[in-house]
Each structure stands twice: as structure tokens, then as C-alpha cells.
Amino acid sequence: MKVLVIGSGGREHALSWKISRSPLVKQVWCAPGSAGMAEDITPLPQSSNITDAAAMADLAVNLGADLTVIGPEAPLVAGVSDALTARGPKVAGASRAAAQLEGSKIFAKEFMRRHKIPTAPFTIASSPSDARGALDRPYPAVIKADGLAAGKGVVIAHDRSEATSAVEAMMAGSFGDAGRRVVIEDFVPGEEMTFMVIADGERYVSLAPTQDHKAAFDGDQGPNTGGMGAYCDDGIMSRLGGDTLRRRIEREIVEPTLAGMIAEGTPYRGVLYFGLMVTSGGLPHLLEYNARFGDPETQALVSRMQSDIVPLLLGDFSARVTWHSGASVCVVLASRGYPGGFMRGFPISGLEDAGALPNVKVFHAGTAVEGGRFVTNGGRVLGVTATGPNLSEAIARAYAGVERIHFDGMHFRRDIGAKGLRGPSLGA
């Protein structure tokens, strides 16, 4: 079969790479993809307007794609999945209506409240004056832009002054229209976990848990980013609560979400991401939904996945999903200044040396080719991903790859996966 992947970042490179390894697949395109993906699949750089639903549907039909996999959130919110479904090709991606779970934080929080899904208490504000009363509260507090902000529209405010500044900046347009309304919610202490499922409306299959590292700097310091790295191993679940925690997540969060979407006339079909906070008592609270695979969690996830991913994307859940033993780790190499302003066009060296290391794969997130060599072309530039027989070894292999790569202003966290090296700490 032939598969079209929509998107151009590290997640899409990882998905394309994993899909290309399926015995069911003979051709993989990525629209627009990037030159860095060409080693694994065929990029289509001319197909750059990925939120144009009609154009993406035309592309899939003209290519003869048997399956289209939508990577980023913006095409889902724009209705690309709906346009593809109307034209006939199989699509792995939520409908526009279902993607509201990510497209609007306000919709998502109100949905959680309607369906009694455990989440932090919250207030919605449509203007700075609306927010003033809600900001008279215990701190820290969390301020979220309502709309899509590339994973950066969340501020943890430690006092009223920080909260006021965050609200005013968002409503003044720091994230465009995404921040015209905001959610102000209680801060839930604990440890974050990403739990993803693939659903067909009623049934679902759970994937291995992962842990993202959202803050820009070591020790979870600095502003939120789209993600500075992630790891995947069985220890995440066992350390935070084991099988008891998994059952609670599925029974109290996953299943009520899918049932709620059916009840509201928008069955959820596709990948659904649950961003969780697990408290010291081992209780899961839902922080956010994403209507697609996480980034950079996907890089770690697919590297550890032993099963063929293609049947899952087609909605075939008949076979058990299996995972390689051990762990996988993705370390993001970012441009200086990210998640704020950054410069582009710096030459990248060491890619071949890093990729030649055993059990190391370098996924391209924001690169381009100039003068016959790779240069930086984004805030998140590369995702150096490694597998190992245990988390410690996977971390060492990933950072061995990082050490071989260089570009001016290269920034990365040095503590990806460090939490996983601790013993049981919360609900276990």
C-alpha cells in the first residue's frame, strides 16, 4: 500500500520512518516533509499549505494514497480529515469536530466538566477585567491560551503579577487569536505523563506511556516549549502507580472521553493524547487533550514499538501491540532563543557521525539544505533518539549522538529521562 503523511517536523519524520518499515507499505510520501527525511521517504516540498483541506484531499487522491496520516494539529482543526473522508481514502486523523478537544482549551475543559473527568478547577476569561477576580487565588496557577499555540500557550504563574502579565500578553496577541480567551486553573502538583491511545470511535488500544520535558531548561525551569525531549519505558507507569494507575487512567479518563464524544455526536477516531499529572497519591488528573501523536513523544514511542504501526492506523486492533524491552530516549536540539525568537541558517555538522552510532536515529524537525549541506530552519532542529536495554543506557546513547552534532546556538536539556532513573516515588 501507499501512505501519505502530512506535516514536516520531527514527529512526521518518525512516523514516516516507522511506516516505511512496515511490510504492508511500498511507498511513503510526506507533505511537505523536509530534505532531512529524504533518506527514509519521499518529501513533497511543493505541498506546503497543509491546512488547505481541499488541496490535501486532492493530493492524496492524485497520489493514489491508500492511507493518509495527519501529523500536526492545525490540519485536523482545519478539517483536512473530513475532506479526505469525503473523497474516500482512508485517513488516520480526527474530524474537525473531534479535534476541538485540542483546538480549544475552553471546549476541552468544559467537556471534562460535563463528563466528570478528573481535572483541575478552572475559570474562563474573555477579557482582562474578566480575569481579575480569577487571579485573586492561591499560587502557583496555570494560564492557558484557548486556541492553538504550538504547545507554548501555557504559563505557570507563581504570583498574581506573573499571572496578570501572562493574561494581558495573551489577550494582546502574543499567540495571535489563540489567546483572546484564556483558561485560568489551579496548579496540580505531581509528575507529568503522556498517555496516548488509538481509537475507532468506540474501541481503543493503549500505547506505551511516555514522559515529555516541556520546560526549556534543565530541572523543568524556564518557559514552556513544544517539548525538549521525551523517553519511553515500562518504568514510567510502574514508578507512578503501576497497573492500578493504568486501570484508573483508562476507566476514569480514556473511556469517559470516548463515551462523551459519542454522546455529543462526535465519535473520536484517530490518535488521542492525554496529558496527565499524577499526584503524590497516584491519582491521575487530565491537563490537556491533543488530537494527534505528541511531539517529541512520538520519536521515542515509535523507536521502541516492535509492532507494525500501520494496522493500528487503519483501525485494526486485532493483534496485540508489542514493545521492545528496555527504553528509548529523544533529546531535542533547539536553536538559541527557542521558544522565543531565533535565527536560522546555521550549518549543522556531525549528522552522519551521530546517525552511524548503534541504536541511534536522528529525526529532522527544523532543517533545510543550503549549498549542499544541512542548516537550521526552525526552533526545534533535530531529535536525537536512541534505544537501549535500560533507561540509563538509552540516555547515554542519545547523548553520545548529541555530542557528535554541532551548530551555532545549539541548545538542549541535559536531564532528559533523569526522573525515570529514580525509584518509585508517587502512587506505587
DSSP 360-388: EEEEESSEEEETTEEEE-SSEEEEEEEEE
Phi, psi of 28 (to 5 degrees): -130, 125
> Residue 426 above 70 pLDDT?
no
Residues of the chain with CATH 3.30.470.20: 191-421
Give me 315's grid cell: 483501525
Q: State the Cα–Cα distance between residues 239 and 236, nearest whole angstrom.
A: 5
Grid-cell match 500557550, residue found: 153
> Residue 149 above 50 pLDDT?
yes
Whose CA is closest to 268, among 195, 194, 202?
202
| Partners of residue 32 on adjacent β-strands | 7
Q: What local confidence, expressed as pLDDT, does residue 424 receive?
A: 60
> Is residue 140 exposed (0-12), middle (13-18) or buried (19+ Cβ within 10 Å)?
middle
- Global confidence as pTM: 0.94
Class of the domain covering 2-93? alpha beta
CA-based radius of gyration for the chain = 20
Grid-cell match 498517555, residue found: 195
Q: Which amino acid is at 81?
A: S
Q: How many CB atoms lie within 10 A of CB 89?
A: 18
Class of the domain covering 127-180? alpha beta
Three-state secondary structure call for residue 276: strand
The 10s digit of each residue's pLDDT in 252-269 is 999 999 999 999 999 999
Q: What local confidence, expressed as pLDDT, does residue 152 receive?
A: 78
Q: What local confidence, expressed as pLDDT, does residue 177 receive?
A: 86
- Average the pLDDT over 319-333 and give the result: 96
Helices (H), 21-159: 53-63, 73-77, 80-87, 100-103, 105-114, 128-134
Phi, psi of 85 (to 5 degrees): -60, -40
Q: State the Cα–Cα distance between residues 383 and 295, nearest whole angstrom.
A: 10
- Average the pLDDT over 210-228 and give the result: 95
Grid-cell match 549549498, residue found: 371
The 10s digit of each residue's pLDDT in 78-125 is 999 999 999 988 999 999 999 999 999 999 999 999 999 999 999 999
Give me 54's grid cell: 481541499
> Is residue 315 exposed (0-12), middle (13-18) or buried (19+ Cβ within 10 Å)?
middle
Q: What local confidence, expressed as pLDDT, does residue 151 receive?
A: 72
What does the DSSP assignment read for 176-192?
A: EETTSSEEEEE---SEE
The 10s digit of each residue's pLDDT in 5-32 is 999 999 999 999 999 999 999 999 999 9
Q: Which residue has the higher pLDDT, 309 or 131?
A: 309
Residues of the chain with CATH 3.40.50.20: 2-93
Residues of the chain with CATH 3.30.1490: 127-180
Q: Are strands 67-70 and 90-92 parallel, antiparallel or unpaired?
A: parallel
Quickly state the pLDDT bin for 281 (edges 50, 70, 90): confident
Taking a C-beta distance cutoff of 8 angstroms, is the pair 297, 276 a contact? no
Q: State the Cα–Cα distance between residues 423 and 428, nearest whole angstrom.
A: 10
Q: Roughly what angle, to the nearest 10 degrees, separates helices 10-20 and 297-304?
A: 20
> Residue 329 above 80 pLDDT?
yes
> Is residue 88 exposed (0-12), middle (13-18) or buried (19+ Cβ within 10 Å)?
exposed
User: How far from chain centre, in Å, is Cα 33?
Assistant: 17
Grid-cell match 487522491, residue found: 61
- Average the pLDDT over 284-288 and give the result: 97
Q: How many CB atoms lie within 10 A of CB 306?
A: 9
> Residue 428 above 50 pLDDT?
no
User: How far from chain centre, in Å, is Cα 16?
Assistant: 15
CATH superfamily of 191-421: ATP-grasp fold, B domain (3.30.470.20)
The CA-CA-CA angle for residues 118, 178, 14, to 5°, reads 75
